[in-house]
Amino acid sequence: MFKKLFGKEAKVTEEKIVSPVTGTLIKIDDVPDPVFAQKMMGEGVAVQPTNGIVVAPVDGEIIQIADESKHAFGIRSALGQEILVHIGLETVAMKGEGFKVLVKLGDKVKAGQPIIEADIALIAEKAASTVIPVVVTNSSTGDYTFTWSELGNVTAGETVIFEAKTK
């Protein structure tokens, strides 16, 4: 509507990011992997999942899917955040076993839309951890400020896990 009135679209300046999986929200610092815990990949949080239905945490475009291992995906939001959802730790070694990708590169998705089905029991058996880090990989640009949600139980596609605003 604004585009019709003023000839340009309203610019997005803030977003709410929802949990990509049902489980327990934990601090990124508590992820048992230094790459995530020391924020080498970027700012974020993590979820200890209770099931394996992994959904889009925000409306956006799928910009990355781990081809052979299927253990992670990246999504670019309207705000410009590049969010990595990494299912489990050391899951690359599973070579895609236990993962079913439901979207393809370039797909436009809505928050809450299923992206990957993961066999959490198999991941618990074969990988280092089932924890799912959710990281803003371009957070080091300094373009965003984050408000982190309270730790505790979260529901996939519903519970806001953090909010981001442009500076």
Phi, psi torsion values for 106, nearest 5 degrees: 90, -10
Over the range 81-117, which residues count as b (16 or more CB within 10 Å of their CB) and which as e? bbbbbbbbbebbebeeebbebebeeebebebbebbbb
Nearest to 55 by CA among 16, 94, 85: 85
What gap in Å lies between CA 167 and CA 155, rounded to an integer? 29
The two three-digit tokens of residue 149, written as one number: 């949600």
Rounded (10°) CA dihedral 103, 140, 21, 65: 20
Give me the tens of pLDDT residue by residue for the chain, a chain 167 residues long: 444 455 555 688 999 999 999 999 999 999 999 999 999 999 999 999 999 999 999 999 999 999 899 999 999 999 999 999 999 999 999 999 999 999 999 999 999 999 999 999 999 999 999 999 999 999 999 999 999 999 999 999 999 999 999 98
Domains within the chain, CATH numbers bracketed: 13-166 (2.70.70.10)
Note the pLDDT of residue 57: 98
Q: What does the block give as tokens for 124?
A: 């618990």
Closest-CA residue to 114 (of 52, 65, 61): 52
Question: From the candidates 86, 116, 136, 144, which is the catalytic residue?
Answer: 86
Q: Which two tokens stand for residue 64?
A: 């990355």
Res 167: pLDDT: 86
pTM of the model: 0.93
Task: Report d(CA 66, CA 147) in Å as an integer.
Answer: 28
Known catalytic residue at 71: no
pLDDT of residue 11: 80
Residue 149 and residue 162 in contact, taking contact as beta carbons nearer than 8 Å: yes
pLDDT score recorded for residue 8: 55
Pairing of strands 99-101, 114-118: antiparallel
| CA 149, chain centre distance (Å) | 15
Write down the pLDDT at residue 62.
98
Determine the pLDDT at residue 33.
97
Nearest of 42, 129, 64 to residue 94 by alpha carbon: 129
